[in-house]
Structure 1
Amino acid sequence: MEGILKELNGVRIISFERYLKHPVEKVWLAITRPDRIADWLTAQAEFELIVGGRIVFRWKNGDIVNGEFLQINPPYELAFTWMEPVSGDSVVRWRLTEEDEGCRVHLTHTFNEASMISGFLAGWHVHLDVLDLILQGRHIDFPWERVKEFRNYYDSKMRLKGGAL
């Protein structure tokens, strides 16, 4: 359930696929309700959940991400732009499919610029782990140390493979 990095026509795409033992609707609410997003993404979210609606994520450390909803197909698909000065403009896509008694989550984050890929791989990896715990009803302090560990892991893996995974 590691992240995968692909390159396609000069665009870098990180991808995660996870099976969660929760109904699609429950996962959908966790990724589209600001009060639930705060639990696993650790950011205050403000948005209007309509195509073209603006989205803002604010973290306690002062980081801010702005965006706009590109696609909303409840409870299966969600896509929005992710705009910040450090990593440039990118697109986050969630695809949820019913599987057995749970949900298959496919998350992609597409970058036009190559910056900070290992940081995003590490961040999404741990955020998805925390999402699963939150959906299980387990509330934990966000494990920032795990993000650092996974950033080192993905950095090492990318160096060994010449920038690819």
Structure 2
Amino acid sequence: MTDTEVRTVTVEREIPHPPEKIWRALTTQHLIEEWLMKNDFGLDLGHRFQLSGDWGKVDCEILYVDPGRSLSYTWNYAHDDPAYRLDSKVTFTLEPIPAGTLLRMEQVGFRPHQKQAFGGAKGGWKIHLENLEKVVAKLG
């Protein structure tokens, strides 16, 4: 792998709920806060928002919206140390299946030297999507 190559974290999860419920949890501020982080999310194309955690903030911008099916936004973490700086893109894709929805999350943009960020994302997204499923299960 050269330094110009990028790595991708992909997590798929079958969720026993319809895509509409999952979409709601992916695109509603107070629900995003329950499964991911505090935020000032907005669904308009080009909307800039931040996700805030104990460790810092992620700068985001909505890149693509296909309501109920797909959502993409930048996921940029600024840091003085290039090993920790991350310029990436997150994409959620929802596919109806007989058991509910197949949710696929891809985060692309990890450089070879960003082993800690890549490993953190691999483990972190699994936990976030488990939490997302719990939030969706509580929706009416």
Give yes or no for TM over 0.5: yes
In 2: Cα distance, 1:19 partner to 1:127 partner: 14
Q: Secondary structure at the match of 1:110?
A: strand
User: 1:131 Cα shift?
Assistant: 1.1
Structure 1: stretches of 5+ with no match in the other structure: 1-6, 139-165
The answer to whether the 8 Å contact 1:87/1:113 transfers is no
Query: Which structure's relative contact order is higher, taking Cα pairs within 8 Å and 6+ residues apart?
Result: 2
Q: Secondary structure at the match of 2:40?
A: strand
In 2: Cα distance, 1:30 partner to 1:134 partner: 7
In 1: Cα distance, 2:85 partner to 2:131 partner: 23
Q: Choose which of 53, 56, 64 in structure 1 pairs with 2:50.
A: 56
Which AA in structure 1 matches 2:20?
Answer: E
The equivalent residue for 1:22 is 17
Which AA in structure 2 matches 1:79?
Answer: S
Q: Secondary structure at the match of 1:118?
A: helix
In 2: Cα distance, 1:39 partner to 1:18 partner: 18
The equivalent residue for 2:64 is 71
Structure 2: stretches of 5+ with no match in the other structure: 79-83
In 2: Cα distance, 1:127 partner to 1:63 partner: 17
Q: Secondary structure at the match of 1:136?
A: helix
Which AA in structure 1 matches 2:21?
Answer: K
TM-score by length of 2: 0.85
Task: Calculate the aligned-residue CA RMSD, in Å.
Answer: 1.8
The answer to whether the 8 Å contact 2:60/2:75 transfers is yes
Q: Secondary structure at the match of 1:35?
A: helix
In 2: Cα distance, 1:62 partner to 1:21 partner: 32
Runs of 4+ in structure 1 deviating by more than 4 angstroms, as ranges, are none
The answer to whether the 8 Å contact 1:47/1:56 transfers is yes
The answer to whether the 8 Å contact 2:27/2:42 transfers is no
